[in-house]
Amino acid sequence: MLALMSQRTMLDDSYGGALDRERLKMLMTRSNRRGGRRLAGHLAILLGTGTSVAMAPSLWWQVPAMIVHEGVLIGLFCGLHETVHRTAFRGRRVNDVVATVLGFFVFVPAVHFRAFHMDHQRFTQDPENDPELITAKPVSLAPYFWHVLGIPFTRDQVAGIVRHALGRVSDSFVAGTDRPTDRDP
């Protein structure tokens, strides 16, 4: 028991100490102003890195600028994650609209990701039900680098978007009410 308490204290200390109720409540309060500031800041950085790509005088400058720009672009997924949880902004509608826009930029449709992510949280590390465990993780260096390049992810996302647009939804985590019917156009 003493060892567990000692580990807990070390963990709390490594993150700056435990949060008191007031601080936790303040951090969990949804705010359109804070969410808007964070989104505007991220978009400003994205605009800046995009401008650096466009203004690069040669390929030798453009490639590193593109790598930085892509890193910032990938960071939009964090905003998608929070808006899918509906915690970035006060209102449900603004969270949903921002999630849809961010999802467009990172090839992750917000409604589909919400269903996927909720099942992932419900069944975390359950090999039978956790949708994150469907795709095998790389086990050696070459497949890892292929994975990091994002080519398989992009290919799979585009294929999924096309399948869903054609009305072929087979993912177990997508609710029956979100599946197309014969009445849908």
**Whether 89 contacts 95, CB under 8 Å:** yes
Q: Positive or negative, the Cα torsion across 83, 89, 92, 97?
A: negative
Confidence of residue 58 (pLDDT cuts 50, 70, 90): very high
The pLDDT value recorded for residue 117 is 87
Share of the chain above pLDDT 70, in %: 85
The pLDDT value recorded for residue 104 is 93
Residues with Cβ within 8 Å of residue 42, at least 6 apart in sequence:
72, 75, 76, 79
Average pLDDT, the chain: 84
Residues 174, 176, 180, CA angle at the centre, nearest 5°? 90
Higher pLDDT, 62 or 176: 62
Residues with Cβ within 8 Å of residue 97, at least 6 apart in sequence:
none
The pLDDT value recorded for residue 165 is 83
Lowest mean pLDDT among 92-101, 153-162, 172-181: 172-181
d(CA 164, CA 72): 28
Residue written as tokens 């204290």? 9
The pLDDT value recorded for residue 173 is 75
Confidence of residue 168 (pLDDT cuts 50, 70, 90): confident
Q: The pTM is what?
A: 0.76
Identify the top-confidence range among 16-20, 90-94, 112-116. Answer: 90-94
Mean per-residue pLDDT, 75-96? 94
d(CA 93, CA 1): 46
The pLDDT value recorded for residue 176 is 61
The pLDDT value recorded for residue 181 is 59
In DSSP notation, 72-134 reads HHHTHHHHHHHHHTT-SSSSHHHHHHHHHHHHHHTT--HHHHHHHHHHHHHTTT-TTT-GGGS
Residue of 76, 67, 146 lying closest to 113 (CA atoms): 76
Residue of 107, 102, 106, 105 lying closest to 84 (CA atoms): 102
The pLDDT value recorded for residue 2 is 47
Mean per-residue pLDDT, 15-21? 71
Mean per-residue pLDDT, 9-24? 66
d(CA 16, CA 68): 30
Mean per-residue pLDDT, 97-115? 92
Burial (0-12, 13-18, 19+ Cβ within 10 Å), 84: buried
